[in-house]
Amino acid sequence: MRASGRVISVRGVWSNPEGEWPAAGPFVAQMMECPDGLYLADARLYAPATPKYDLVLQLEQMLGTFRCSAAADR
């Protein structure tokens, strides 16, 4: 069963703290409401010098496969 309540999506850019290895990239996150609680799923992309649009779409598709537990329906 797909999330039965609200689904909140967030998109942004992550980066390492100053002084760490210089890395950054886009991320997507979703908070989903199910009968048995709230779930947070996030995905980050690190792909230097690579077009990222299609990769971010793939991350969103992966997050979209989340399903609430069938046991929560009983």
SS3 11: strand
pLDDT at 3: 60
Higher pLDDT, 4 or 14: 14
pLDDT at 68: 87
Question: For 18-73, how does the pLDDT look when each residue is reduced to its tens digit (9 = 90+)?
Answer: 999 999 999 999 999 999 899 999 999 999 999 999 999 999 999 999 988 766 55
Higher pLDDT, 12 or 4: 12
CB 28 within 8 A of CB 56: yes
SS3 15: strand
What span, in angstroms and rounded, lies between the C-alpha atoms of 16 and 38?
27
